[in-house]
């Protein structure tokens, strides 16, 4: 993938240079520096969710998805093909994709077909440029430098898979000419004693935040063991873990031996979340009567999508981001943007502070005002740090179903003082 990453990074560098020298030259800088369109010889292994869940609800121009290097039992994948350079949109519109998957003794071939979907790819750094221009009331130039097609064919890892390599051979046909792409390989996680790529709670938290780009349910238990001692992040962790289990039930159901081997607190915590996710373990840990009673008395989790203005609403924002981190779905982002409708409550709160008044109780209006601020700050933060969240925010802002009042707030995510913490103002 290195050549594609270099291309996209170079594009972002050109955009930033063009922005600094004047927006009128930005589009010309792009056009003058693009070579003729061609296909990358290296295909992507895409999560099926990218093509069927994310792309249908985003705008034509999106941030590039990640190619998967690790797969899980029950997970479904598609093949992605990249066209870059001048005329990439026309070229990607002509491709047909076929591929063959070899896993152990199994072999499955998918016929050459038109793509399931195509998208134009943003260069790295373009979200920053777009936001900077928008803050000045300037429309960004056409920044697409590459396009990706996601295959119509879909392959799913067998639910009984025990690990091992998956070899994917891809062919692309353009105008009747068929080209073999470079072979690509992924590894199926074994789900047993897998070395974790994180060693601290901070590293595990970072891994959770980006889980939707490359899900690995085999690492949920070791991540939970590191996160649990830090109670301040519990709402996010609870919703993340229960949503991740729901997202990949075939793989999660086989984590029983991992839970049996871990400490008692993590075991009971995860078993409770498995129950709330309606996912049954194939080999559940054996519990004593005391442990069974603890699980029977575990409280229900709040519904993060219930935006009733009460004390629980503040932690629900974290739960919504936990759901997003696990699933990569647009629904939690939509729920967060709905809180931006409470601008009048925030204005009333500001006026009360100007008059020197202090609240004597946590009213519904005060909850809405504080939630408006917290939701705006978190949306602004994720917009800068998460490409998929940025794509969703753009799509929500452009949707005719989004009220004008919320569109106005979304346009000010990077500039509204209410959405900045004290150390950022």
| Token pair belonging to 340 | 């931006």
C-alpha Rg value of the chain to the nearest Å = 24
Q: How confident is the model at residue 330 (pLDDT cuts 50, 70, 90)?
A: very high
Percent of the chain with pLDDT over 70: 87
> How many whole angstroms from its chain centre is CA 235?
18
CA dist., res. 239 & res. 337, Å (int): 19
pLDDT of residue 360: 86
pLDDT of residue 425: 56
Q: Which of 103-117, 230-244, 256-270, 389-403 shows the lowest mean pLDDT across its residues?
A: 230-244
pLDDT at 14 over 90: no
Average pLDDT in the chain: 90
pLDDT of residue 140: 64
Q: Name every residue whose Cβ is closer than 8 Å to that of residue 14 and which is 6 or more positions away in sequence.
A: 29, 30, 33, 123
pTM: 0.91
CA dist., res. 210 & res. 199, Å (int): 16
pLDDT of residue 123: 84
CA dist., res. 66 & res. 47, Å (int): 9
For residue 79, give the 3-state DSSP assignment: strand
How many Cβ atoms sit within 10 Å of the Cβ of residue 14? 20
CA dist., res. 144 & res. 123, Å (int): 7
pLDDT of residue 420: 86
pLDDT at 319 over 70: yes
CA dist., res. 149 & res. 116, Å (int): 8
Sign (positive/negative) of CA torsion 229, 233, 235, 238? Answer: negative
pLDDT of residue 400: 97
Terminus-to-terminus CA distance in the chain, angstroms? 39
pLDDT at 63 over 90: yes
């Amino acid at each position: 993938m290195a050549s594609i990453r270099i291309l996209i990074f170079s594009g972002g560098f050109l955009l930033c240079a063009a922005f600094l020298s004047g927006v009128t030259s930005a589009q010309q800088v792009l056009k003058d520096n693009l070579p003729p369109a061609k296909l990358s010889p290296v295909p992507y292994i895409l999560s099926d969710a990218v093509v069927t869940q994310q792309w249908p609800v985003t705008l034509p121009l999106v941030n590039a998805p990640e190619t998967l290097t690790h797969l899980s039992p029950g997970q479904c994948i598609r093949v992605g093909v990249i066209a870059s350079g001048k005329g990439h949109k026309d070229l990607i519109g002509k491709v047909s994709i076929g591929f063959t998957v070899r896993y152990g003794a199994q072999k499955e071939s998918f016929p050459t077909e038109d793509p399931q979907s195509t998208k134009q790819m943003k260069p790295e750094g373009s979200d920053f440029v777009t936001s900077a221009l928008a803050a000045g009331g300037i429309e960004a130039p056409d920044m697409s430098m590459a396009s990706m097609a996601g295959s119509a064919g879909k392959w799913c890892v067998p639910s009984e898979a025990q690990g091992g390599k998956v070899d994917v051979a891809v062919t692309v046909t353009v105008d009747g000419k068929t080209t073999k792409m470079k072979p690509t390989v992924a590894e199926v996680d074994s789900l047993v004693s897998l070395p974790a790529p994180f060693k601290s709670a901070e590293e595990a938290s970072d891994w959770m935040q980006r889980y939707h780009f490359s899900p690995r349910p085999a690492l949920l238990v070791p991540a939970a063991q590191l996160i649990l001692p830090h109670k301040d992040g519990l709402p996010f962790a609870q919703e993340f873990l229960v949503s991740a289990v729901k997202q990949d039930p075939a793989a999660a159901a086989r984590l029983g031996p991992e839970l049996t081997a871990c400490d008692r607190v993590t075991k009971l915590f995860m078993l409770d979340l498995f129950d709330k996710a309606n996912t049954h373990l194939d080999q559940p840990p054996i519990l004593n009567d005391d442990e069974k009673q603890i699980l029977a008395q575990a409280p229900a989790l709040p519904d993060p999508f219930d935006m009733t203005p009460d004390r629980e609403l503040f932690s629900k924002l974290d739960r919504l981001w936990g759901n997003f981190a696990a699933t990569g779905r647009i629904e939690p982002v939509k729920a967060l943007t709905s809180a931006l409708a409470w601008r009048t409550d925030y204005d009333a709160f500001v006026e009360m502070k100007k008059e020197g008044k202090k609240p004597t109780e946590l009213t519904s209006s005060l909850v809405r005002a504080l939630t408006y601020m917290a939701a705006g700050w978190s949306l602004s933060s994720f917009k800068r740090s998460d490409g998929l969240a940025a794509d969703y925010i753009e799509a929500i802002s452009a949707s005719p179903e989004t009220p004008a009042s919320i569109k106005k707030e979304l346009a000010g995510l990077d500039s509204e003082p209410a959405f900045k913490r004290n150390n950022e103002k």
